């Protein structure tokens, strides 16, 4: 009898921003306090709000270098075997700078020269983006996500990618 192989994906991303600011004056005080939260559920599949690929890695970028991640040619080690993965629809990107020393920043979404980039992420910080409904389409023309390091020392970071393995219909 053949083995049955299946997988079911489910996940969620929760964001929360809370603040309280009290401005005290001679005649009283004013408080600005609020909490804003969002929860994004992700089911199994390739349609809006769904995913079937999860990829993460902790990596080190040498000084003055760029780490190029090909979303159409990812690999994950499972039970000692390298398993290929492809992301055709990117739904969630989270990049965490693992460093603590001042000045050790990474450039997320940079071009091949690191002159232009989407976000600079400093030590002990992160960037998280979600496009749950529409996703970011990944094609042969835009399949490389670059993380740059223009500093003089290596930088460690952890990246999490969630998406679908087939193109949107």
Burial group, residue 49, by CB count within 10 angstroms (0-12, 13-18, 19+): middle
Q: What is the pLDDT of residue 5?
A: 64
Provide the pLDDT for residue 1.
44
pTM passes above 0.75: yes
Q: Which residues of the chain have pLDDT under 70?
A: 1-5
Burial track 118-131 (b if 16+ CB lie within 10 A, e otherwise): ebebebeebbebbe
For domain 49-164, the CATH class is mainly beta
């Amino acid at each position: 009898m053949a083995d049955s192989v299946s997988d079911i994906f489910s996940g969620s991303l929760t964001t929360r921003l809370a603040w309280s600011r009290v401005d005290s004056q001679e005649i009283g005080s004013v408080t600005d306090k609020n909490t804003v939260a969002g929860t994004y559920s992700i089911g199994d599949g390739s349609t809006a709000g769904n995913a079937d690929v999860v990829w993460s890695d902790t990596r080190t970028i040498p000084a003055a270098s760029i780490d190029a991640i090909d979303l159409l040619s990812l690999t994950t080690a499972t039970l000692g075997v390298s398993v290929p993965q492809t992301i055709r629809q990117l739904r969630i990107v989270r990049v965490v700078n693992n460093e603590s020393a001042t000045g050790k920043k990474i450039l997320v979404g940079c071009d091949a020269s690191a002159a232009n980039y989407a976000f600079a992420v400093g030590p002990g910080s992160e960037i998280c983006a979600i496009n749950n409904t529409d996703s970011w389409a990944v094609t042969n023309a835009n399949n490389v996500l670059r993380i740059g390091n223009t500093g003089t020392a290596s930088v460690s970071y952890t990246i999490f990618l969630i998406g679908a393995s087939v193109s949107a219909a």
